[in-house]
Amino acid sequence: MDLDGAFLCAQRAAKRMIASGRGGRIVNVTSVHEEYPRVGAGPYCAAKGGLRLLSRVLALELAEYGITVAPGEIAAVIAFLAGPAASYVTGATVYVDGGLGLMGPQAAGALGSGDWRTG
């Protein structure tokens, strides 16, 4: 669902943008888990990683139509990415995570101990 919905929306939006001939912006909202794994979140991480690569493929395929595609997060960044000032940003991830990525993949405290490492 995390990946299917984004794919279908991007596909429909791209068709309309191509038909209009005016280019456009597609912004896919992902998560730090597009890059950083988390124990117990395999399907979610796989979907977010898939969304990252889908965005990059779309960026390549839609460039000739003046359409940029960016995975991103948070409203202010989305507003920037959707606007004309971001006309040169495409296929790149913009991390707006409050430093979560710097703390490591288990930063949310999903584990109470390191026992999972020893099996």
Q: Tell me: the pLDDT tens digits for 11-47? A: 999 999 999 999 999 999 988 888 888 889 999 999 9
Task: Give domain status of residue 67, yes or no.
Answer: yes
Model pLDDT, residue 114: 58
**pLDDT higher than 90, residue 59:** yes
| Number of domains, the chain | 1
* Active site annotation includes 44: yes
> Each residue of 101-111: pLDDT tens digit?
766 665 556 55
Range of the domain at 51: 1-10+23-97
Residue range 78-89: mean pLDDT, rounded: 93
pTM, two decimals, is: 0.78
Q: In this structure, what CATH number is given to the domain that contains residue 50? A: 3.40.50.720
Out of 36, 44, 65, 95, pick the active-site residue.
Answer: 44
**pLDDT higher than 80, residue 97:** no
Residue 114 to residue 119: CA distance in whole angstroms: 10
As given in the structure block, the two tokens for residue 19 are 């038909």
Model pLDDT, residue 24: 96
Specify the range with the lowest mean pLDDT, choosing from 59-68, 87-96, 100-109.
100-109
Cα distances from 35 to residues 6, 14, 105, 112, in angstroms, run 18, 25, 9, 22
Task: Give domain status of residue 52, yes or no.
Answer: yes
Model pLDDT, residue 107: 56
Q: Smallest Cα–Cα separation from 48: which of 73, 18, 24, 67?
A: 73
